[in-house]
Copies of this chain bind each other. A is one copy, B any other.
Amino acid sequence: MPSDIDIAQAASLTPILQLAQDKLGIPPEALEPYGHYKAKIDLTWLDKQTAPQGKLILVTAISPTPAGEGKTTTSIGLADALNRIGKRTLVALREPSLGPVFGMKGGAAGGGYSQVVPMEDINLHFTGDFNAIALAHNLLAALIDNHIHHGNELGFDSRRIVWRRVMDMNDRALRSTVVSLGGPGNGFPREDGFDIVVASEVMAIFCLATSRKDLKQRLGNIIVGYTRAQTPIRARDLQAEGAMAVLLKDAIKPNLVQTLENTPAIIHGGPFANIAHGCNSVTATNAALKLGEYVVTEAGFGADLGAEKFIDIKCRKSGLRPDAVVVVATLRALKYHGGVQANDFNTPNLAALQQGVSNLERHVNNMRENFGLPCTVAINHRTTDTQEELDWLINHMGQLGVQVVVTRHWAEGSAGAVELANTVVKSIESKSADLQSGLKFLYQDSDTLWDKMHTIATRIYGAANISADAAVRAKIDKLQADGFGHYPVCVAKTQYSFSTDPKLIGAPSGHTINIREVRLAAGAEFVVMICGDIMTMPGLPKVPASTRIDIDDEGRVTGLF
């Protein structure tokens, strides 16, 4: 196989204005081109289109290995295959963060013959959305320290400022800093730090906002710090939300690009899947549903985190309702959940597969029973997979009433996902009786924050209980008392296990989920419950990917993958 970037650079792209007109009926005046192959879609034009009509397919995954199991490539391959079988389909994805591109993970524009293009642009600055979000975030940070410097009329307690700074870079040196050193002209020294842009609450707000008005309202609601009396101080108190919204004026328009097979792709927003909800913007999903018969979208991490938040946070607030779910798995990851180590991933091992399938079963059951959604399993095929293993898995899940489809979109493009496309369409067109009632939420708005967390832990994670030390418990009770109890809960925990221990593989039961920390996102309108260690500013590895990335004298990029 050629490298991802070689495949991408050899692609035959349709000029974006033509693709939009021909495939989606968007007139050129409703598009703002960014070069010849990227465009932003005008919000006013979108508002005038009819209500969302398309069917929404959510692609999620089992608890992944660190390499990931291929949600993005599967989403792209499935969308290409749906078009191939005659369904007008778009794919809606998250924008990649620049940090990982130069670090370990590489790009996030799919891979093999299931990519979105131009992949270099999508993986680098794209249309500038993340930069706009970073600047909106950092303007608010500058306004806080500036306010304190000029007299602190709002009475900030500088020990209780909860608004850090952000940068779209993996830079561990910025995790924990002291700022305002150097004398009276530079302000009052205090502890601070940077998160990566995808961890910014502005990113979460950006992705949940349903209009310019809602965006500005939410930005104003952000709580940036507290007084000594612990009264919250909001962005609105600094008159920050207008300028922040101005910085986001173009960013909030969804971005249109295409797959290698010229399927329209809307790529917009990309909040972290731990301290935020991990899926593309509501604006993008809504736009796609207005423009296509089918929309394929993805949620970050495994289904316990990504799909749960997709439904309980994104769908709850926006009115979006998925029609079907695809759970992506690899034999490699299933064997990992059966106890196999990384260096043995390529060795056939039916026993390990039989052991590890428990992880897949629980994710699938969660989708079907807890959320009431039809569910297909997509096995993202690898050359080392044996027919014996695949047959066992197909048969085993079939006995549970779940269809397993092996996909080869990475190597073959849409041709490798036609069976998946047909299966998913069928699952939507003939929902079984028990699923006719449609999407169910896991909890009600009126449940307490503690009960919401308890419900997620016991019903999704298989835990016996939740716990929190007295200080954390008190903070949760205070949030409840202060009127934030109706917010959904956004769990930040490891994606590698149903528990909070990344090494607890398979489908653990009876464990306790300990809440280590609680954070209020008053603009995004959720309460983050942090269970375990969460890193909001990654670092670079010893040999960063950046050392391999280069450009020649004519402007051709190499080394992106």
Q: Which residues of B contact A211 (CB under 8 A)?
A: 553
Picked from B33, B139, B181, B551, the residue with its CB within 8 Å of the CB of A33 is: B33
A547 near B243 with CB under 8 A, answer yes
Task: Tell me which of A58-66, A146-154, A356-364 binds B.
Answer: A146-154
A138-B167, A138-B171 in contact; A177/B178 too (CB < 8 A)?
A: yes
CA of A167 to CA of B181, assembled, Å:
17
Which residues of chain B have C-beta atoms less than 8 A from A145's C-beta?
A: 171-173
Q: Which stretch, A387-395, A521-529, A537-545, touches the partner chain B?
A: A537-545
Who on chain B is nearest to A542 by CB? Answer: B150
In the bound assembly, the distance between CA atoms of A139 and B34 in angstroms comes to 24
Report the minimum CB–CB distance from A233 to chain B (whole Å).
15
Of B149, B151, B553, B557, the residue contacting A172 (CB under 8 A) is B149
Whether A125 and B250, one on each chain, are in contact in the complex, defined by CB atoms closer than 8 angstroms, is: yes
What bracket does the count of chain A residues touching chain B fall in?
35 or more
Q: What's the Cα separation between A238 and B132 when bound, in Å? A: 29
State which residues 237-279 of A face B: CB under 8 Å.
238-240, 242-243, 245-247, 249-250
Do the beta carbons of B180 and A213 come within 8 Å of each other?
no
User: Are A180 and B173 within 8 A (Cβ)?
Assistant: yes
- Name the B residues within 8 Å of A503 (CB-CB): none
Given contacts A102-B243, A186-B176, contact A135 B181 (CB under 8 A): no
Closest to A545 in B: B243
Judge whether A98 is part of the interface by a CB distance below 8 angstroms: yes
CB distance from A144 to the nearest CB of B (A): 8
Write out the residue numbers on chain B whose beta carbons fall within 8 Å of the beta carbon of A125.
Answer: 128, 131-132, 135, 247, 250
Contact partner, A212, options B173, B193, B555, Cβ 8 Å:
B555
With A34-B33, A128-B128, A182-B176 already in contact, the answer to whether A135 and B98 are too (CB < 8 A) is: yes
Beta-carbon contact of B539 and A149 below 8 Å:
yes
Say whether A142 faces chain B, with CB atoms less than 8 Å apart: yes
Contact of A141 with B by CB under 8 A: yes
Quick check: is A475 within 8 A (CB to CB) of the other chain? Answer: no
**With A and B bound together, what is the CA distance between A167 and B142 in angstroms?**
11
Interface status of A174 (Cβ within 8 A of chain B) = yes
B residues less than 8 Å from A36 (CB atoms) = 32-33
How many Å lie between the Cα of A534 and that of B235 in the bound state?
32
Q: Is B179 in contact with A181, judged by CB distance below 8 angstroms? A: no
| Contact of A339 with B by CB under 8 A | no
Question: Once the chains are docked, how many angstroms separate the CA of A168 from the CA of B138?
Answer: 9
How far apart are the CA atoms of A146 and B98 in the complex, in Å? 17
Cβ contacts under 8 Å, A102 to chain B: 139, 243
B-facing residues in A327-356 (Cβ within 8 Å): none
Closest approach, in angstroms, between the C-beta of A349 and any C-beta of chain B?
35
Q: What is the chain B residue whose CB lies nearest that of A243?
A: B546
Q: How far is the CA of A180 from the CA of B182 in the complex (A)?
A: 18
Q: Do B212 and A143 have beta carbons less than 8 Å apart?
A: no
Report if A35 contacts B (CB, 8 A): yes
Q: In whole Å, how far is A155's beta carbon from the nearest beta carbon of chain B? A: 16
Q: Is A437 an interface residue (CB 8 A)?
A: no
User: For A176, what are the chain B residues with a Cβ–Cβ distance below 8 Å?
Assistant: 180-182, 186
**7 sampled A-B residue pairs with Cβ under 8 A:** A33-B33, A35-B250, A44-B555, A142-B169, A146-B173, A150-B541, A242-B551
What would 18 more interface pairs be, CB under 8 Å, given A142-B173, A239-B547, A245-B551? A32-B36, A34-B35, A35-B250, A44-B554, A98-B135, A125-B132, A125-B135, A125-B250, A141-B173, A146-B171, A173-B179, A175-B180, A176-B180, A181-B191, A212-B551, A216-B551, A238-B547, A243-B549
Closest 3 CB pairs of A and B: A176-B182, A242-B550, A243-B546
